[in-house]
Structure 1
Amino acid sequence: MSAIDVRPLQDDLSFGVRVTGVTRENLKDEALRQQINDLFEDRGMIIFEEIESSPQMLVELSDVFGPLKQHPVASVKRVDEDAMPGVIDMDHNPDTCGIVELDGKQLSSWLPWHFDHCYNNELNRAGVLRAVDIPPEGGMTGFADGIELYRDFDPALRERIAGKDVLYTLDLLYDHMRFGRPGDLRDVRLDVAMKATLEIAKTMPRAMHPAVWERKSGEQVLHVSPWMAVGLQGQEDPEGDALLEAVCQEIYRVIKPYYHKWKPTDMLIWDNWRMLHSVSGHTPGIHRRMQRTTIKGDYGLGRFENDAVGDKVLEDTMV
């Protein structure tokens, strides 16, 4: 088996690893591919460092983890659908992307804590990212582990939320964020694409996902997305709302995030069934461009309210 170097993400974190030594050639080694998959399953996140910086390599690396999920929204920019199917190009144009004010500072391309596809009944297995245009400051992607969150959570609150399903919608507007919204968060300029989802959300069924679920390994995962959450299934009342808000605030109290400062020679995969992620934002007027693939899969625990059927637009992806 080809040798790779594996190191902890950070000494004080129980998730994530850093891997160097991955090349196109040694990715043909089945034993190495299995080793990488085992690392991913165990640690929930891998940063591949000093790796070939190209969308072609992004596709080859993604193939290690499973088939790619094609993005269903035709307007989402692709890199080259024929040569590199499944690679989307997230070009954050400084003239049109959203701007928020947080803690008295204006930020472009900021995203709150969430997991992908929370508003859909199915959750993709993972996302794989690379950075193309990197802001000189900020623009970091944050990650937090649901297993670690569960372990650190207040036991009484953890018991109250166990067995509850959280309702989510496609409404991406921060002004509509009902739970865990930073009190001083203010929209300065709305992202046009986010605003467009509001009308779509009004026509789509709400999705629900368990606040806590159990992995095959027996580990419990606290998996709540403050962004896009609209209530607790069967408890949309002041008591239920207070419980969900308390859960979001407890997430913020105990969270031990890792914020990745990008290099062109990095690629990164995270487990969407286990991790929350966010984007720190950066100074407005600066370009940020990311490329991404999405790994197919579903943990089988989500569903639509009233057994409704969704729509492909609900598979939209935000990073």
Structure 2
Amino acid sequence: MNCKVCGAPLQQNARFCPNCGTPTDRPTPENGAEARPDVPPSSAPPDNTVHVQPQQSSQPPMYDPQQAPPWAPTQPAGPPQGAPPWVPTQTVTHESQAGPPMSPFQPPAPLPYYQGTTSNRGANMPPTTYDRQARGPRRERNRAGCVLGCLTVLVILLLVAGAGWLFLLRPYLHNIAATQIDKALSSGVQQIPTTLPTVPAGVGAVPIPIQDNTINNLFVLNLAPNNPIKNPETQITPDGIHMNFQLYGFSNGISLKPAVQGGRLVATNVAISGPFSLIMSPDELTPLLNRHLSDAQNRIKHQIQNVQLKDHEMDLTLGPAQTS
């Protein structure tokens, strides 16, 4: 059979011309239906699984995320060519029947690995009460260590300050104070006359009175303006000689009691009060005073037999003249 339009040969039962596409006039079969190819019998194994049909309800449908949604597109059915492949269906288990349906908007359940990790996370962490009990001794140890460290640092600072005062600062200040006192006493000794009035023959030893104002003037006139020793004031009492002065603005005092030893006037019972005692000790001041008292006695060239203390006055009894 050929096409009526282009004359191309047509195959049997062809519906369109393969050359021009014109539909062909085919004779209708006797039974009035299209001839269909024989479908061979299906060789698929029998399916004994139970298929569950979703229940229709008024609520929105809820599906298992592992199953395909009902609105998934399907492939158009074509002419059967042999037996369709066997597709295993999911069997209904008791867990799936007992579990509630899952909403499509609900996120899927986590994997078993994450479920185990999440469930065991709390078990791996120590309880809160245990943390508090464990941190308590540590804080106490930290406080004890901090206190011990502060005490150690304080002791070290005290040792350093003490060593600096003992070996550096005190010797420096002691030298300054000793130098200033030595200059003041040396200037006062130079004011003592070298000749004394002649004593008539047959007259005993006459005491020489020395007033406390005389000693004050002796120090004031011989102190330099830049001398750190200010406002010296001497007071003579029967108990001894007391001298008060200011050193760098701090009040200080020196007390002593004169005595005669071997015809020489010496200072005994020397005491120092005030901050000046940190710079110079009585044992260091006593030799300095005795040296200048000896220089003063050498200027008058007489021995001293006796010394007597009164209120605001000191009487010296001179002995025979010294031989050079």
TM-score bracket, shorter-length normalisation: under 0.3
Q: Could you say which structure has the higher helix fraction?
A: 2
- Larger relative contact order (Cα-Cα within 8 Å, sequence gap ≥ 6): 1
TM-score, normalised relative to structure 1:
0.18
Q: TM-score, normalised by structure 2?
A: 0.18
